[in-house]
Amino acid sequence: MPPKTKEKGRKAGAQKKKKNSRADVEAEAKHRLMVLEKELLLDHLALRRDEARRAKASEELLKQRLQVLEAELKEARSEEKAMYAEMSRQRQAIQQELETRSKHLEEEVRGLQEQLEMCQKEAKAAREEAEQALRERDQTLTQLRARLADVEAKYEEIFHVSTSLQSPAALVPSTPLSPHPTASVMIDNPGGKEKCPQGNTAVA
């Protein structure tokens, strides 16, 4: 084989080996890149799984907390409803008691007003009766005083007549007054007419 041919063959073999080596390097680089990408994907998936697991755990905790809060809210609403019902019942009871008390007081005031009016009427009637009794008493006293004055006047008249009859001049009249020696004198008094003999004093 000529030397030039050998050199050409050597050069071609070297170039072929270089091409093969480069291809191997590229293939290995690609393989390593794929392995790295796969590992990155696996790590990413693992991270996503952890995040999903933590999110799931957080969701469960939130659900539990929400259930607790809902139960507390329900209990608070129930207590509030019961408290409102109790307050409403107490308010109605107080209102009914106040209405009953108000009606009782109104009836009591009405009864007292009626009693007051009755007492005023009775007091007025008693006052009028007392005034009438006083007027009748005053009238009776006036009448009694008038009768007393009349009796006193008649008594004075009888006293003067009796005194004049007992005097000596009266015992011996100058002229006869009657055919009989003993004459009777008619005297008026409140009880009627009464004969008073001469020489005697008669007081009615």
pLDDT averaged over every residue in the chain = 77
Q: Range with the lowest mean pLDDT among 24-28, 46-50, 124-128?
A: 24-28
pLDDT value, residue 104: 92
| Neighbour count for residue 51 (Cβ, 10 Å) | 10
Q: Range with the lowest mean pLDDT among 15-19, 76-80, 123-127, 167-171?
A: 167-171
pLDDT in tens, 84-121: 999 999 999 999 999 999 999 999 999 999 999 999 99
pLDDT at 11 over 80: no
- Do residues 161 and 189 make contact, with C-beta atoms less than 8 angstroms apart? no
- In this structure, what token pair is assigned to residue 55? 């999110």
Dist. CA 195–CA 180, nearest whole Å: 15
pLDDT value, residue 193: 40
pLDDT in tens, 171-182: 444 444 444 443
Q: Which of 119, 201, 123 lies closest to 162, judged by CA? A: 201
How do the residues of the chain divide into helix, strand and coil, expressed in percent and rounded to 5? 80, 5, 10
Residue type present at position 6: K
State whether residue 200 is helix, strand or coil: coil
Pairing of β 192-197 and β 184-189: antiparallel
